[in-house]
Structure 1
Amino acid sequence: MSKILSYKSNLIVLYEDNHIIIVNKRVGDIVQGDKTGDKPLSDVVKAYIKNKYNKPGNVYLGTVHRLDRPTSGLVIFAKTSKVLPRLNKLFVSKDISKTYWAIVKNEPQKTEGTLVNWLKKNPKNNKSYAHNKEITDSKKAILHYKTIKKLDNYFLLEINLETGRHHQIRCQLSSIGCPIKGDLKYGFDRSNKDAGIHLHAREIKFVHPVSNKHIHVIAPLPKDPIWEAC
């Protein structure tokens, strides 16, 4: 389990050095600003850096990737302009290993497997649809899953992504009859009280693009009875 380096307001810092900061996003936080006008996690991280290091003026922070607002877990930010394109390159070349945990309603037919679909996003309802063959404007999506625990009423899956598509995990799991707990948009029958879903960016591994140090961070699970049963 990763040691929590800092826990202030809605910011949980799991790893930090001169170039990178990795935080554990809570359900409901947005990574970057959007039309809601809600304060994004990126602004919270900037304020943390400014306060911690007494930085004058504006603080640089580069967003490397995003997590959907209803999800929780690891988010990497770049603290320097030098490291941002290098981190972006790691994501493009798939040299960053990302593991997610999801709590789903139904048990998959196979204990573990690989899902290959072509996803097409509908911007009007901000939803992706899974197809078994390529269609116009679709993108190939690949993920690997395995069932790691049976809970009282649900199943805990571990997921590793080969691609990073819009709502990929949510959409592909729904396509095999395993909607994520709380995910009304993708077929679960009721919402969670916090409006989140039980999808958590659990673990990340990569070689630091500046120091060449092997980075391995695990995000603690949210505090709720279902996750605590895991």
Structure 2
Amino acid sequence: MTDSRHTCFPDEEFVDDSAAFPDEEGEQGGLYEHFSVVADKGQTLLRLDKFLVARMEHCSRNRIQAAADSGNILVNGVPAKSSYKVKPLDRVQIVLPYPRRDNEIRPEAIPLEIPYEDDDLLLVNKQAGMVVHPGVGNWSGTLVNALAHHLRGTEIADSGEMRAGLVHRIDKDTSGLLVIAKNEQAHARLAKQFFDHSIYRRYVALVWGDFPDDEGTIVGNIGRSPRERQKMYVFEDGSDGKHAVTHWRVLKRYGYVTLVECRLETGRTHQIRVHMAWQGHPLFNDARYGGDRILKGTTFAKYRQFVENCFEVMPRHALHAQSLGFVHPSTRAEIRFESNLPDDFRALLAKWDSYKIER
């Protein structure tokens, strides 16, 4: 099989955003290939829509059936219905009337906050709201577009490396530190540290509820939710997902919410957000994991208004990547960087400080 997992995005177009897509872009009678997969030799007969649902993230059977009805799904070069039974070695393609745009990283002169830079790497203090990598709906204005401009003329940019030196990511609405490699050796050595879980990463989060203890560890495999495929999920029995460990410590208690630091031993998608939600402590104003409503507190109208005001002050989930430490890829020295809480986070805490005093 030529792929692993690919993504169907929620705009009305059936596309794949994997930067590691292995096939060359092909043209099919005026259509461009966006995704291709060849069924295994041992593939059992399976409906085309079911076959693709298993390989496309964020895609329902209805979306796939609609794509097939529109002639956008080819099997061995011929448009196929969703009821077609996939056989061994069938080649399945998704085709659309425009080229794949994720191969075009356009440099953009976007201001970046860079607290440190040398010949091998740079640190970016990412602002909340900035997408890290281009994708459907975000083909410009991303961190990678900014890095492609900032790093022009360097080895990592001139090599055509799609991610412009990225070795890790943080969510769009998470603020804080990212390390970027400027050459292949630095990229490889930093990536190895992330793989070995030896990178020091400390986040600050405001979460709903109080904790009986001052610190603890959350262990639970994380994988794609079987029910809501845009969310991650903790598999308590370890039957699925990837091993994930989050260490947490209380920084300040506000009664209804708590400020905590989280140290990542592993780095899974949405790890802090999903681990905290699993423990009954969703991040404050985290819409995806249920933190964007009042979960703790009184029923008084004055309190409800206070929380709504807090949501307006920080209209995103309350998570900031504050500390990042690693071994420098060239000097081998251990280095660590810190990022101050952004204005919206500090304003949110100031409101909770005042509420705690008043009540």
TM-score of the superposed pair, with normalisation by structure 2: 0.56
User: Are 1:118 and 1:134, in contact at CA under 8 Å, matched by a contact in 2?
Assistant: yes
Superposed displacement of residue 56, structure 1: 9.0
Aligned-partner Cα distance in 2 for 1:57–1:217: 24
Match of 1:41 in 2: 143
Aligned residues, how many? Answer: 218
Does structure 2 retain, via aligned residues, the 8 Å contact 1:221–1:228? no
After TM superposition, the structure 1 = structure 2 runs for residues 107-146 of structure 1, keeping only pairs within 5 Å, are 107-122=210-225, 125-135=229-239, 137-146=240-249
Asked if the contact 2:155/2:184 (under 8 Å) is kept, the reply is no
- Counterpart mapping for 1:1-230 below 5 A: 10-36=111-137, 37-50=139-152, 55=153, 59-60=157-158, 61-122=164-225, 125-135=229-239, 137-151=240-254, 154-190=257-293, 192-193=311-312, 195-224=315-344, 225-227=347-349
Asked if 2 retains the 8 angstrom alpha-carbon contact of 1:117 and 1:131, the reply is: yes
For residues 57 and 98 of structure 1, what CA distance do their matches in structure 2 show?
27
Residues 57, 64 of structure 1: alpha-carbon distance in 2 compared, 3 angstrom cutoff: closer
Superposition deviation, residue 183 in structure 1 = 0.3
CA distance in 2, matches of 1:216, 1:57: 25
Alignment check: 8 A CA contact 2:110 2:141 kept: no
CA pair 10-174 structure 1, distance change in 2 beyond 3 A:
farther
Against the structure 1 CA distance between its residues 11 and 96, is the aligned structure 2 distance closer, same or farther, given a 3 Å change threshold?
A: same
Q: Which one has a larger percent helix, Structure 1 or Structure 2?
A: 2
| CA–CA separation in structure 1 for the residues paired with 2:324 and 2:274 | 22
Code of the residue aligned with 1:48 in structure 2: it is H
Aligned mates of 2:121, 2:188 — CA distance in 1: 12
Please name the residue that 2:15 is paired with: none
Runs (5+) with no aligned partner, structure 2: 1-108, 159-163, 294-307, 354-359
1:126-160 deviation per Cα after TM superposition (whole angstroms, max 9, x unaligned): 2111232112x322211110101124753110111
Identity %: 32
Q: Structure 2 CA distance, aligned partners of 1:217 and 1:91?
A: 16
Following the alignment from structure 1 to structure 2, what is the Cα–Cα distance between the partners of residues 125 and 89?
29
Kept in 2, the 8 Å contact 1:205–1:215? The answer is yes
Contact 1:22 1:74 in 2 (8 A): yes
Q: The residue matched to 2:131 in structure 1 has which SS?
A: coil
Closer/same/farther in 2, CA of residues 220 and 130 from structure 1, 3 Å limit: same
C-alpha distance 75-161 of structure 1, shift in aligned 2 (>3 A): same
The alignment yields a C-alpha RMSD, in angstroms, of 2.5
**Helix, strand or coil: the match of 1:44?**
helix
User: Which structure ranks higher in relative contact order (CA pairs < 8 Å, sequence separation ≥ 6)?
Assistant: 1
TM-score w.r.t. the length of structure 1 is 0.85
Q: Distance in 1 between matches of 2:187 and 2:154?
A: 21
SS for the counterpart of 2:114 is: strand
| Closer/same/farther in 2, CA of residues 20 and 57 from structure 1, 3 Å limit | closer
- State the structure with more CA Rg: 2
Give the letter aligned to residue 273 of structure 2. Answer: R
| Structure-2 residue corresponding to 1:5 | none
Distance change (3 Å), C-alpha of 1:105 and 1:10: farther
CA offset digits 1:6-63 (Å, max 9, x no partner): xx9541111111010111111111111111124211221232344xxxx499935311
